[in-house]
Amino acid sequence: DARVTQTPRHKVTEMGQEVTMRCQPILGHNTVFWYRQTMMQGLELLAYFRNRAPLDDSGMPKDRFSAEMPDATLATLKIQPSEPRDSAVYFCASGFRSGSYNSPLHFGNGTRLTVT
Amino acid sequence: KQEVTQIPAALSVPEGENLVLNCSFTDSAIYNLQWFRQDPGKGLTSLLLIQSSQREQTSGRLNASLDKSSGRSTLYIAASQPGDSATYLCAVGPSGFQKLVFGTGTRLLVSP
């Protein structure tokens, strides 16, 4: 059963430290999303890629966040420097889009980030 | 800006009941609508995807309908079971793209 894999599952770090979260999308999917979930804001889109090219990162604080896809099997989300307000669950999701067809999105289990 | 609202925020029912979860959105120019469930500490599991040209989708005991003109979708769960307890989220996809705008969810508890 294909699934989106995220690592680490949990991360506790001190304010000011760099945090890197990784995602392996489902093989064959050409669209990758990063979402952040908090109790207050719900699910917010941070960035997304199609065929490894960034299409929209308007939801991301650009001064500290960066998202990349070094290859088709790996997406990364970095926070540097991290702040306590970044504490949240970060989800990666992948899907396939071709022409007018959009597949359902498949989510990973998330990385729960705590910044102290 | 698209806004997605889900009512009720929480629902508690005894096992066996049929129930309806509601989702409304402000911009009817959507490409698709997707329903997810989220279990505590877990990611989202896709339940049903309705393309904008469709009116409904069914999977087992679940049926989702879409009325684009009124900006509404409903998720119908038949013969609810304790295993259905989870948070249910709807999300709409803007025209032409896959990026989804999520509702705040309905937390469902089904008691044995």
Residues of chain B with C-beta less than 8 angstroms from the C-beta of A97? 98
Convert the pLDDT of each residue in B56-102 to its tens digit: 999 999 999 999 999 999 999 999 999 999 999 999 987 655 678 99
Amino acid found at A11 = K
Confidence at residue B96, expressed as pLDDT on a 0 to 100 scale: 57
Asked if pLDDT for residue A63 goes beyond 70, the answer is: yes
Q: Smallest Cβ distance to B99: which of A4, A56, A106? A: A56
Is the dihedral angle over the CA atoms B37, B98, A99, B28 positive or is it negative? Answer: positive
Residues of chain B with C-beta less than 8 angstroms from the C-beta of A55? 97
DSSP character for A103?
P
Q: Do the chains contact at B98 and A4, CB–CB below 8 Å? A: no
Q: Smallest Cβ distance to A33: which of B42, B99, B103? A: B99
Q: Smallest Cβ distance to B102: which of A42, A55, A97? A: A42
Q: Do the chains contact at B31 and A102, CB–CB below 8 Å? A: yes
3-state secondary structure A55-92: EECCCCCCCCEEEEEEECCEEEEEECCCCHHHCEEEEE
Confidence at residue A86, expressed as pLDDT on a 0 to 100 scale: 96
Q: Do the chains contact at B44 and A93, CB–CB below 8 Å? A: yes
- The alpha carbon torsion through B20, B108, A47, B4 (nearest 10 deg) reads 40
- Whole-number average pLDDT of chain B: 92
DSSP character for A18?
-
Asked if pLDDT for residue B11 goes beyond 90, the answer is: yes
Least confident of A98-102, B88-92, B107-111: A98-102
A20 Cβ neighbours under 8 A, 6+ residues apart: A76, A77, A78
Q: Does A97 touch chain B (CB under 8 A)?
A: yes
**Percent residues over pLDDT 90 in chain A:** 78
Confidence at residue B95, expressed as pLDDT on a 0 to 100 scale: 63
Confidence of residue B9 (pLDDT cuts 50, 70, 90): very high
> A88: which strand partners?
A113
Q: Do the chains contact at A109 and B42, CB–CB below 8 Å? A: yes
Confidence at residue A47, expressed as pLDDT on a 0 to 100 scale: 93
